[in-house]
């Protein structure tokens, strides 16, 4: 970077003495050399470093400009409460024909979309890719497109708060068929979570059976089943 700065400054100094010549040749020459530096950067630096330099916030994804799919209010939650905990999550819709990449959780006996909470200050697209990689071992994540936002209010009993307001931003994307090694958190492994490819109709049937007959169902299964049905209606 220092050499590049000195190089540009030298052109500026020379332009003071021969302005006509350098006005004619400076910018084309600078543009060529800048592109040459960019090519070298792509050639010799890891792709992950290139991705880290991207400003994914340019997509400007907020609850105001992403399609609202549904607002769900748990019977024990108060959406008008003054003691609300707000959370944002990113969830991945990965299809291969009628097969879909999902997480099976033994504790809750359900299938859910890969994804989870976005860390404070984290870009939502980067958060999506991080969660998808950690939970499923997905490789070659590409073609990320916003699908919609699922809003929900749940009861929350921590830190003197009584309601959680969560916006789940859902994205379609593609990955390589073969999954790599997962990086599950301790509680996820304890709950018996694992990634699976399965037919989307079978996933819906399984979740509906859990909703109807199982006392193991968690708070997320209604959201996940709704999203799976919408995916069939709009994407398959």
Per residue in 22-38, pLDDT (tens digit) is 444 444 444 444 444 33
pLDDT of 142: 98
Q: Using alpha carbons, list the distances in angstroms from residue 152 to 168, 169, 220, 224.
A: 8, 12, 10, 12
Per residue in 49-75, pLDDT (tens digit) is 434 444 444 456 676 789 999 999 999
pLDDT(47) > 60: no
Per residue in 77-122, pLDDT (tens digit) is 999 999 999 999 999 999 999 999 999 999 999 999 999 999 999 9
**Ranges of each domain in the chain:** 2-44, 59-235
Encoding tokens for residue 235? Answer: 């994407």
Q: Strands, DSSP E only, in the chain?
A: 68-73, 84-96, 99-105, 110-112, 115-117, 142-155, 163-174, 193-199
pLDDT band at 159 (very low <50, low <70, confident <90, very high): confident
**Is 207 within 8 Å of 110 (Cβ atoms)?**
yes
**Is 151 within 8 Å of 86 (Cβ atoms)?**
no
Distance CA 129, CA 92 (A): 9
Distance CA 36, CA 31 (A): 9
CATH, range 59-235: 3.90.79.10
pLDDT of 20: 52
Q: Whole-angstrom distance between the N-terminal and C-terminal Cα of the chain?
A: 49
């Amino acid at each position: 970077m220092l050499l590049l700065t000195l190089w540009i400054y030298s052109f500026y100094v020379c332009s003071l003495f021969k302005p006509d010549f350098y006005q004619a040749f400076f910018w084309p020459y600078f543009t060529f050399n800048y592109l040459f530096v960019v090519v070298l950067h792509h050639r010799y630096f890891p792709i992950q470093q290139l991705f880290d330099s991207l400003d994914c916030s340019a997509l400007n994804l907020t609850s105001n400009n992403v399609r609202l799919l549904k607002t769900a209010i748990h019977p024990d939650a108060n959406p008008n409460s003054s003691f609300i905990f707000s959370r944002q999550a990113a969830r991945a819709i990965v299809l291969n024909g009628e097969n879909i990449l999902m997480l099976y959780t033994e504790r809750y006996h359900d299938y859910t979309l890969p994804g989870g909470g976005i860390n404070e200050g984290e870009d939502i697209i980067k958060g999506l890719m991080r969660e998808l990689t950690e939970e499923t071992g997905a490789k070659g994540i590409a073609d990320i497109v916003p699908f919609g936002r699922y809003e929900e209010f749940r009861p929350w009993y921590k830190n003197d708060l009584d309601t959680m307001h969560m916006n789940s931003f859902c994205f379609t994307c593609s990955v390589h068929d073969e999954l790599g090694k997962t990086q599950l958190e301790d509680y996820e492994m304890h709950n018996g979570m694992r990634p699976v490819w399965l037919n989307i109709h079978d996933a819906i049937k399984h979740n509906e059976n859990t909703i109807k007959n199982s006392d193991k169902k968690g708070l997320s299964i209604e959201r996940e089943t709704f999203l799976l049905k919408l995916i069939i209606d709009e994407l398959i």
